[in-house]
Structure 1
Amino acid sequence: MSESTTSASAGDATASVADPRAISRDVFSATLGSICCCYTGQPLDTIKVRMQTNPAEFPGVFSTTTSIFKNEGMAAFWKGSIPTAVGMAFENAMAFGVNEALKRAFPDDPAQKNLDAPPDLGKPFLMGAITGCCSALVLLPSEVIKTKTQFVVGENVSSQEIMRRMIKHSGYKSLFAGLDAQLARDASFYALFFGGYELFCYSFRTFVPSMPEELNYFISGGFAGMFGWAMAMPFDVPKTNVQARYDCKIVGSYFPELFKIARERGVVGLYAGLGPTLARAFPANAALFLGVEMGKKLFDKVL
């Protein structure tokens, strides 16, 4: 279990759920981690979206990478990075903020505060699922814009233009397209994301006690990201497909798309883009958690 989530600082030990300093610390560290995560993982996320939405044209990681580079240039790998970074900042401020608030609201038994004690694995997984439902509501508009921007092939179009087209086509409700898909994906992902991070941090601290703290954060965050995405992938593929369209409903498009993909492509079709997703998950989430943990230390040092 990470030191920041078990002992943190003396101020956090007695902080209330709505303590202003604790909330500011969560938001600051999550924002720093989000920037690190976004620009580390965006190229592989773009490859994943192309493979999920058009598997006939983009069947593999290498061919997709080559096609994007040859036809659209290097900058295309970072398509949608600005709304992604903004969305990630809001998402992770919500995710880490809610997760930390839940820990303050439902603290571990005092006897479990010892870093050498086995973690209570039930709570972090359950809190992660609750966190995912909350963060999905914050992430949804930027996720819809990002997906539509990444889906555009052969056209240099900005995220602002995509948003304008969405509103013109379906009004402001289009910003919340695929809400049910977002909830399904994020609840499953965050349950294993936060729960897995706690488990990996504790395991490395227990079995590799000589490992530097920062390296533990980095590796545990990377594995937690891969762990979460491996479980959430079947929910992510239909989510990406419905949010890439302009006729997607707020609720109701997700399950028909899931069954359609499973029927037409087989169960393996629900794992389209798994390779680049897992390849992206390690460095992106390693950078995220390292940024978050270092952001907490920086915040405590400055304030």
Structure 2
Amino acid sequence: MAGSGDAAKEYIAGSAAGVAQVVVGHPFDTVKVKLQAHNTKAHRKLYKNASHCTSRILVEEGIRGLYKGASSSFVGIALESSLFFGTYAHAKQLLQGKYEDGKPQLQVIIPSAACSGALISCILTPTELIKCRMQVQGKDAMHATWYSSPLDCAVKTLQSEGVRGIFRGGLATLFREAIGNAFFFCSYEYSRYWMHSYTDSPRFAGNSNLILAKDVGIGIISGGISGMAFWTTTLPLDVAKTIIQTDPSPLSSRNPLRVLSMVYRRAGLAGCYAGLGPTLARAFPANAAAIVAWEYSAKVLGIRGS
């Protein structure tokens, strides 16, 4: 069992992963959110595709438009990743004592990942609501309320909708995180295990540069694959969450399955997977960066080897 010092280091390494993920992935996320909010309406698509959406943002708002809502993401994702990776590591450690084997164990990974995902959904719901509401604003806001900053968005949401409003989309976020992170960590653990099995070689022994290059390469590939597994599995739930959180009507449904059914009737299967292109384009580099930052930080802090 890790001591309190190692526990604190796990959370620090998780925070580093979150910061890396936002830096690399936020522009892709902005495009995804705009497509989900504006391209799921019947007979009306504001953007032709992800490239058109990106060019519109750059022309109308500049590079800052792609990082709109990023400040709330940095705070939310740093805290979320800290809890996410730290909770997963400790839950896995507790369960792993029952299954002494070097190979990844589904009976360890799935409950650890689902538990961690369910926990962070409580943090992600309000931070993503603020982020999404900031992101869907263009120069001409389509919503009745204009938000000048993430803090202004949080305050106005609380004033108009109360605490319940700031947690709008919580059920969709819970489903997305619990299910998606089980797929994420299964993909990560198994791909990492097999890549290490095939690349472990005496030629790496004693050569720190080769070991670092190998570990970074494995981190990039396993992180990228895991991120794509997460989003391929859960994107429809994310579409529902975005619609629930950005719909200006306080009377709109908050049931993700009902919202998805409505989207399917209006825009078909393509509507349920709105934003798939930028989401997968973001998933590989953003999650690769997160995993490399997590593993490297853990190694620097002395809580894990290769």
Q: TM-score, normalised by structure 1?
A: 0.87
Query: Is residue 178 of structure 1 aligned with residue 172 of structure 2?
Result: no
Residue equivalent to 1:10: none
CA RMSD of aligned residues (A): 2.0
SS at match of 1:300: coil
Aligned equivalent of 2:241, options 239, 242, 249: 239
SS at match of 2:301: helix
CA contact (8 A) 1:99 1:131 kept: yes
**Aligned positions, number:** 281
Q: Deviations over 1:64-83 (max 9, x none)?
A: 01110111111100011110
Aligned equivalent of 1:41, options 22, 25, 33: 25
Residue equivalent to 2:132: 147
Letter of the structure 2 residue corresponding to residue 272 of structure 1: A
Deviation at 1:108, TM superposition (A): 4.6
Distance 1:144 1:137, change over 3 A: same
CA contact (8 A) 2:161 2:250 kept: no
Residue equivalent to 2:204: none
Distance 1:110 1:235, change over 3 A: closer
Deviation at 1:298, TM superposition (A): 1.8
Letter of the structure 1 residue corresponding to residue 124 of structure 2: L
Residue equivalent to 1:6: none
Letter of the structure 1 residue corresponding to residue 6 of structure 2: A
Please give the residue correspondences for 1:207-246 in structure 2 after superposition, counting only pairs within 5 Å: 207-209=198-200, 212-246=214-248
Residue equivalent to 1:30: 14
Residue equivalent to 2:207: none
Deviation at 1:248, TM superposition (A): 5.1
Q: Deviations over 1:139-173 (max 9, x none)?
A: 21111101111111215832122122212211232
Q: Deviations over 1:187-231 (max 9, x none)?
A: 121111111110110121123446711211121111100111110
Distance 2:68 2:171 in 1: 25
Distance 1:185 1:157, change over 3 A: same
CA contact (8 A) 2:32 2:279 kept: yes
CA contact (8 A) 2:253 2:259 kept: no
Aligned equivalent of 2:190, options 196, 199, 210: 199
Distance 2:296 2:148 in 1: 35
Distance 1:245 1:166 in 2: 12
Query: Is residue 289 of structure 1 aligned with residue 273 of structure 2?
Result: no
SS at match of 1:58: coil
Query: Is residue 87 of structure 1 aligned with residue 70 of structure 2?
Result: no
SS at match of 1:153: coil
CA contact (8 A) 1:136 1:182 kept: yes
Aligned equivalent of 2:66, options 77, 88, 113: 77
Q: Identity rate of aligned residues, in percent?
A: 29
Please give the residue correspondences for 1:116-135 in structure 2 after superposition, counting only pairs within 5 Å: 118-135=103-120
